[in-house]
Amino acid sequence: MINGKIDVFDKIDDINYIPVIASLISFAAENKWIDGKSITFFQKNSIFKYGKHLVNPYHTKKSYEILFNNDEFLENTLSFADSGGLQELLMDNVNISPIDVLKWQEKYCDIGFALDKIPFKKNLGTVKVGWTFDEINFEKCAEITKQRILDAMKVRIEYKSFKYYAIIQGTNYKLYKKWKEIIDSPGIDGWCCKSPTNSSASLAETAVFAIKNLNKPTHFLGVGQLTKSIILFYAKKYFKYPISFDSSSYDTGAQFRRYNLPFYFNGMESIKMDKDEKYNISNFNEFCSCPACNMMSKIMDKPDKDKYMGYLISLHNLAQNVYIFNYLKNIYKDSDKMRIFVNNYFKEQTAEKILQCFDYIDDAVKNGVEFAKQKHIHIFQEFKKTTRQQTLI
Ligand SMILES: [Zn+2]
């Protein structure tokens, strides 16, 4: 407790699922409520309540400020704020100040990520957005990141229980280590890690780095689907500090009407409309008891149902994630139970790959990082690094 207020780290659990607010924020305003209820998850009158989230101030600053100033967020919310480093990389002519970023994060959120200089280059001239790891400027980017952290920390409000996390960049264990050595400075409260590819093995290596090298609460950026978050739940038994991870994968509801089937863990269905503007599924509340499905069934015959549908599907997906992660929190310390869960939950091939990642993690912790990497080298796909323009796969 600080000044009678709860310290941010008192609100953090052992392992924390942090959904990115994403497009749902556009449904937070009163004119989008249904019967006085908001179809988001972060407000006091949300139909499904979940008290943790990540906001990307670059995209949703104004709407977020309004919610904050109107005291609409849930009591004891644990809020994370992104840095804007990715926007700096992806958008041209963007000038982001690390000091402004920190001031905003400190005012509106509990935990903020420092503005990093990302050692990747955007590939130009390709239809697909490709990234290239910038090996030549890697250390220079780390130096710039360190300077930004030092500049920003000068304006911190001392008495506020805001936590400042620094982001570790790199594409493998050695580079993570190098980056961390360069940017480490007194006053950093926690670390952020990002795995360079979408593979479970790549995240497993990132987790092993964190277990061996980071002695503060650690956040994993952009973790995505359960094939990746399951790796963190397994690795958690080796972490001495709390960990958190953000994900926006639930939001495929709003984007593609992708609906996680509640009774078939691994399944997804795309909800479609027929030519008479009727949905191919309508009795949601008869097979899912979450508040979003309940609401979908209620509005099914309303003329403006389509306006809400995608967002309600997103909210259902989020609720499913929360239920699964709450279960995994119960069993993560029990390796056998985790393995049984993986075998029951995923398709055979996927399950096999995930279990190999579990073995790699155990080996790396018990028998050393180098040994484990060599022994399990087949699970790691080669990460393309180049100094020339090349699309990463
Ligand atoms: Zn549901």
Query: How many whole angstroms from 346 Cα to the centroid of ligand 1?
Result: 20
Q: Which CATH superfamily is domain 8-252+321-379 in?
A: Aldolase class I (3.20.20.70)
Provide the pLDDT for residue 393. 38
- Which two three-digit tokens encode residue 66? 């309004």
Provide the pLDDT for residue 3. 56
Q: Which residues surround ligand 1, an ion (CB under 5 A)?
A: 288, 290, 293, 316
Provide the pLDDT for residue 2. 52
Query: How many whole angstroms from 311 Cα to the centroid of ligand 1?
Result: 12
Query: How many whole angstroms from 284 Cα to the centroid of ligand 1?
Result: 7
In this structure, what is the dihedral angle of CA atoms 131, 134, 135, 141, given to the nearest 10 degrees? -130
Q: Cα–Cα distance between 210 and 224 in angstroms, integer?
A: 18
Query: How many whole angstroms from 367 Cα to the centroid of ligand 1?
Result: 43
Query: How many whole angstroms from 319 Cα to the centroid of ligand 1?
Result: 7
Pure H helices in the chain: 57-69, 85-90, 98-108, 138-153, 173-183, 200-213, 226-235, 252-256, 291-299, 305-331, 335-345, 348-367, 369-375
Query: How many whole angstroms from 21 Cα to the centroid of ligand 1?
Result: 18
| 213-229 b/e (C-beta count within 10 Å ≥ 16 → b) | bbeebbbbbbbeebbbb
Query: How many whole angstroms from 286 Cα to the centroid of ligand 1?
Result: 10
Nearest to 329 by CA among 6, 15, 12, 9: 15
Digit-coded pLDDT (tens) for 230-264: 999 999 999 999 999 999 999 999 999 999 998 87
Q: List, in order, residues 6 or more apart from 85 with CB less than 8 Å away.
A: 96, 113, 115, 116, 117, 118, 167
Query: How many whole angstroms from 294 Cα to the centroid of ligand 1?
Result: 7
What percent of the residues of the chain are helix, what percent strand, and what percent coil, each to the nearest 5?
A: 45, 15, 40
Query: How many whole angstroms from 291 Cα to the centroid of ligand 1?
Result: 7
Query: How many whole angstroms from 257 Cα to the centroid of ligand 1?
Result: 13
Query: How many whole angstroms from 318 Cα to the centroid of ligand 1?
Result: 9
Q: Cα–Cα distance between 3 and 160 in angstroms, integer?
A: 9
Q: Cα–Cα distance between 337 and 328 in angstroms, integer?
A: 9
Q: Cα–Cα distance between 171 and 56 in angstroms, integer?
A: 23
Rg (CA), the chain: 21
Query: How many whole angstroms from 114 Cα to the centroid of ligand 1?
Result: 36
Query: How many whole angstroms from 248 Cα to the centroid of ligand 1?
Result: 17
Provide the pLDDT for residue 126. 57
Query: How many whole angstroms from 305 Cα to the centroid of ligand 1?
Result: 16
Query: How many whole angstroms from 211 Cα to the centroid of ligand 1?
Result: 35
Residues of the chain scoring pLDDT < 50? 384-393
pTM of the model: 0.93
Nearest to 280 by CA among 254, 253, 300, 302: 300
Query: How many whole angstroms from 24 Cα to the centroid of ligand 1?
Result: 16
Query: How many whole angstroms from 63 Cα to the centroid of ligand 1?
Result: 26
Nearest to 231 by CA among 264, 255, 197, 263: 197
Query: How many whole angstroms from 158 Cα to the centroid of ligand 1?
Result: 43
Query: How many whole angstroms from 316 Cα to the centroid of ligand 1?
Result: 4
Residue identified by tokens 């670059």 is: 58
Q: Cα–Cα distance between 231 and 220 in angstroms, integer?
A: 11
Domain ranges of the chain: 8-252+321-379
Query: How many whole angstroms from 261 Cα to the centroid of ligand 1?
Result: 8
Provide the pLDDT for residue 392. 43
Query: How many whole angstroms from 221 Cα to the centroid of ligand 1?
Result: 26
